[in-house]
Amino acid sequence: DAKTTQPTSMDCAEGRAANLPCNHSTISGNEYVYWYRQIHSQGPQYIIHGLKNNETNEMASLIITEDRKSSTLILPHATLRDTAVYYCIVRDDKIIFGKGTRLHILP
Amino acid sequence: EAGVVQSPRYKIIEKKQPVAFWCNPISGHNTLYWYLQNLGQGPELLIRYENEEAVDDSQLPKDRFSAERLKGVDSTLKIQPAELGDSAVYLCASSRFGQGTDTQYFGPGTRLTVL
Partners of A93 on chain B (C-beta within 8 Å) are 99-101
* Rounded Cα distance, A76 and A99, in Å: 23
Mean pLDDT estimate for chain B: 93
At B68-114, the pLDDT tens digits run: 998 889 999 999 999 999 999 999 999 998 666 788 999 999 999 99
* Rounded Cα distance, B74 and B88, in Å: 21
Query: How far is the alpha carbon of A42 from chain B, nearest alpha carbon, in Å?
Result: 5
Partners of B91 on chain A (C-beta within 8 Å) are 43-44
At A41-89, the pLDDT tens digits run: 899 999 999 999 999 999 999 999 999 999 999 999 999 999 999 999 9
With bands split at pLDDT 50, 70 and 90, how would you rate the model's confidence at A10? very high
* Contact criterion met (CB < 8 Å) for B93 and A43: yes
* Residue ranges with strand state E in A1-107: 9-13, 18-23, 32-38, 45-50, 55-56, 61-64, 70-75, 84-91, 101-106
Partners of B42 on chain A (C-beta within 8 Å) are 2, 87, 97-100
* Contact criterion met (CB < 8 Å) for A97 and B40: no
Query: How far is the alpha carbon of B2 from chain A, nearest alpha carbon, in Å?
Result: 14
* Rounded Cα distance, A60 and A20, in Å: 11
